[in-house]
Structure 1
Amino acid sequence: MSDPNALVPLGRSGVSIPRLALGTAPFGNIDFPVPGDEVTRTVAAALADGPRMIDTAPAEGAGLAEARLREALAGMPRDRYVLSTKVGKRLHGARFHTGAFDALGQPVYKVLDRLEPAFDFSYDGTMRAYEESLKRLGTDRLDIVHIHDPDEHFAAAMAGAYLALHKLREEGAIGAISVAMNQWRLLHRFLDYGDFDCIMVSGRYTLLDRSAHDLLPRCREQGVAVIVGGVFNSGILANPIPGATYDGLPVDGTMLRRAIRLKLICAEFGVPLRAAALQFPLRHPAVAAVVIGARSEAQWREDMGAFGVAVPDELWGRLAGVDG
């Protein structure tokens, strides 16, 4: 069992984060609309028990997640949360809050042109993206900034985004710098050439896919903290049924059978699969935190409850024998 509020330092940055962090992708209406008042309740619930890391990105709903987060955090003491966002996918266009709210309680925005995320890892683009996120979030500082999905843009990201973030870190404008990806191999190259405080890897260190395991010892050795996202592999580990998704696509039969086997083994010990999936990454000493995207207060509370379930060592041993 892990303490979701225990603070873990991110390298030498001076930034510490709790073991369980809130991700804001659902706030961008990625899969289906989430009412604005539900966003506010979810954020309030996440911050109720202590300081919390909140991870967002401009690409989540074309700025909507960041803008809604600003509304939800209004009036909250700044030391109550660690704020994390991303650069590399800039928005083209502009969004302005009109001061009005719709029938669902969502803030109404006037949009000039069409907001579209597009890759921009240049130095100047990164600096502009940083300023734009500050404005959307309504804050004067960011605790962590990730270079977002630079899969095909390693050279540009290192020559542009990394140097910009390095400068901002030296100036004290941001606390920690990171790379966030859905793969792990290229993260080795970033660690070869850059001085990162942490990395974020999504979906590649879970009960179903443990492929990033080879990266973790290096992170541990170099003092680079690992933040793990996608612990449910986009849904299959939350509820392994036909029609569930794995990494955003309908799950195939092989992966579904493996997930069901994991669930049945957990059931032998009276442990929900959701609890084991949430806690699994934190068993590795290189992993500082897991990020959970919650679309409602109820879902956040469910995840908090799963985080507190005691998982016996014997169960971990059995789960380790299921190919991941």
Structure 2
Amino acid sequence: MVNLPGPFAFGAANLGNLYSPMSDEQAHAVLAAAWDCGIRYFDTAPHYGLGLSERRLGAFLAGRPRAEFVVSTKVGRLLVPDPAGADRLDEANQFAVPADHRRVWDFTAGGVRRSLEESLTRMGLDSVDVVYLHDPEEYDLPAALASGLPALAALREEGLVRAIGVGSKSVTALAAAARSGVADLLMVAGRFTLLDQTAMDDVLPECGDRRVGVAVASVFNSGLLATPEPSASSRFDYAAAPPDVLVTAREIAAVCAEFGVDLPTAALHFPLRDPTVHAVVAGAATPGEIRENDRRLRTHVPAELWPTLRDKGLIRA
């Protein structure tokens, strides 16, 4: 099992121009701010901007001692050239990059190995520390786990990676991975947050019983929890926030304010209360966002906040 340098990790989806373009210079500045804040775990994926996130992350890390940082990437989607898409953007996947490649699902042993090799080439690295199966439930969950997990285990046995697991929004996929006896680490995306605690049903108990580590991503649920006053225009799970979820977010924010804590600070601290959670993973579009989230994680949160939210029925026990 790899030790994650936490509690704050950098999620590199924004480096792939998620939702809006980012220049190479801006991407470098965001990563430099993360490094200056002491962040040493960086998570990326081929899916993020059709490889752009991996290329930008690799360019930044090229000047840093390899022993000083941890990198994870993901497998399951191969990138195949698609010249016919070069004149349009990859808007269907919400990335503002030319759609000059297409994603092809492949969880076979050969596909997993090829995906990792291509990621290493894009990043200019000889190895990564962690590899996750990415969103296997969006393909065929039983088939993806049946072939993908043994394929990753073989790479781990060869010493090509140090830890393996699944990164997903699906609690079904995550719980199955925890039960497999193969996974070292899970990336739980958006399912252990102030607005969604479904990972508490099966995923976290299985991880606790089987000594599987957890990194919690999407702690802001795509943006709704990222500001002190939740906005009707904010996203929730990559889509418009449903009215009832917006109401709950505003109620949580009001209780947090009573304790002198803003909503994003509470959102960052909430998952770290569980002993299975090794790190929270958050992205950023600007250096200021990185520094602000680092400050929030260093902010004291009164212990009484959590039982108050629970007693008001806003979070689960």
Whether TM exceeds 0.5 here: the answer is: yes
Question: What residue number does 1:182 align with?
Answer: 169
Question: Are 2:120 and 1:130 aligned?
Answer: no
Question: What residue number does 1:99 align with?
Answer: none
Question: What residue number does 1:318 align with?
Answer: 308
Q: 1:38 aligns with which of 22, 26, 31?
A: 26
User: Contact between 2:80 and 2:101, CA under 8 Å: does it hold in 1?
Assistant: yes
User: Contact between 1:63 and 1:136, CA under 8 Å: does it hold in 2?
Assistant: yes
Q: Which amino acid aligns with 1:185?
A: T
Tell me the alpha carbon deviations over residues 271-316 of structure 1, each in whole angstroms, 9 at most, x when there is no partner.
1111000010000111111100111211100110111111101112
Counterparts of 2:269 and 2:102, CA distance in 1: 35
Counterparts of 1:301 and 1:138, CA distance in 2: 27
Q: Which amino acid aligns with 2:287?
A: E
Counterparts of 1:47 and 1:290, CA distance in 2: 16
Instruction: Give secondary structure in 1 for the equivalent of 2:154.
Output: helix
Tell me the alpha carbon deviations over residues 41-79 of structure 1, each in whole angstroms, 9 at most, x when there is no partner.
211221224351000000000001001112122211112
RMSD: 1.8
Counterparts of 1:235 and 1:17, CA distance in 2: 24
Question: Are 2:273 and 1:283 aligned?
Answer: yes
Counterparts of 1:297 and 1:114, CA distance in 2: 29
User: Contact between 2:2 and 2:129, CA under 8 Å: does it hold in 1?
Assistant: no
User: Contact between 2:136 and 2:145, CA under 8 Å: does it hold in 1?
Assistant: no
Instruction: Give secondary structure in 2 for the equivalent of 1:209.
Output: coil
User: Which runs of structure 2 are paired with 1:111-126 in the superposition (5 Å)?
Assistant: 114-126=100-112
Q: Which amino acid aligns with 2:61?
A: L
Aligned-residue offset at 1:35: 1.6
> Which protein has the bigger strand share?
1
Question: Are 2:216 and 1:225 aligned?
Answer: no
Counterparts of 1:218 and 1:163, CA distance in 2: 19
User: Contact between 2:82 and 2:102, CA under 8 Å: does it hold in 1?
Assistant: no
Counterparts of 2:184 and 2:238, CA distance in 1: 29
Question: What residue number does 1:104 align with?
Answer: none
Identity value in percent: 41
5+ residue gaps, structure 2? 84-96
Q: 1:264 aligns with which of 241, 254, 260?
A: 254
User: Contact between 1:51 and 1:82, CA under 8 Å: does it hold in 2?
Assistant: no
User: Which runs of structure 2 are paired with 1:287-298 in the superposition (5 Å)?
Assistant: 287-298=277-288
User: Which runs of structure 2 are paired with 1:16-35 in the superposition (5 Å)?
Assistant: 16-35=4-23
Instruction: Give secondary structure in 1 for the equivalent of 2:178.
Output: helix
Instruction: Give secondary structure in 2 for the equivalent of 1:238.
Output: coil
Question: What residue number does 1:61 align with?
Answer: 49
5+ residue gaps, structure 1? 1-12, 96-108
TM-score (norm 1): 0.87
Question: What residue number does 1:106 align with?
Answer: none
Q: Which amino acid aligns with 1:65?
A: S
Question: Are 2:193 and 1:206 aligned?
Answer: yes
Tell me the alpha carbon deviations over residues 136-186 of structure 1, each in whole angstroms, 9 at most, x when there is no partner.
010001100000000042233233221221111111110100101102123
Q: 1:169 aligns with which of 147, 156, 159?
A: 156
User: Contact between 1:86 and 1:145, CA under 8 Å: does it hold in 2?
Assistant: yes
Counterparts of 1:319 and 1:166, CA distance in 2: 41
Instruction: Give secondary structure in 2 for the equivalent of 1:301.
Output: helix
Question: What residue number does 1:81 align with?
Answer: 69
Aligned-residue offset at 1:94: 8.7
Question: Are 2:138 and 1:148 aligned?
Answer: no
Aligned-residue offset at 1:188: 2.1
Instruction: Give secondary structure in 1 for the equivalent of 2:48.
Output: coil
Structure-2 change in CA distance of 1:198 and 1:185 (3 Å)? same
Structure-2 change in CA distance of 1:234 and 1:209 (3 Å)? same
User: Contact between 1:55 and 1:84, CA under 8 Å: does it hold in 2?
Assistant: yes
Counterparts of 2:237 and 2:28, CA distance in 1: 27
Structure-2 change in CA distance of 1:49 and 1:304 (3 Å)? closer
Q: 1:91 aligns with which of 64, 70, 79?
A: 79
